[in-house]
Amino acid sequence: MKGSVKKLHPAVRDILHMGLYQLLELDKIPDSAAVNESVRLARKNRPPGCEKVVKARLRKAARSKDTPTQPPSLEDN
């Protein structure tokens, strides 16, 4: 996605952090529940339209959480 997370409203960043924690660290919470609850919080508490950003970022994280990533090479630094 385009844009920086740093430019988001602080409360929206907090909602994203909580949603990501639920997705990546808590095994008993279904991915759909973590995304839906985060979107509900964003819709209820923050600027209009931010729920779309929350939903997009968390759904992308949910899709890619089981995909192994290659660690950065030490030679690239």
Give pLDDT tens digits for 32-72: 999 999 999 999 877 888 899 899 999 999 998 777 666 66
Question: Residue 70's pLDDT is what?
Answer: 62
Rounded to whole angstroms, the Cα distance separating 36 from 41 reads 9
**Entry pTM:** 0.76
Rounded to whole angstroms, the Cα distance separating 41 from 37 reads 6
What's the mean pLDDT in 14-25?
92
> Is residue 28 classed as helix, strand or coil in its secondary structure?
coil
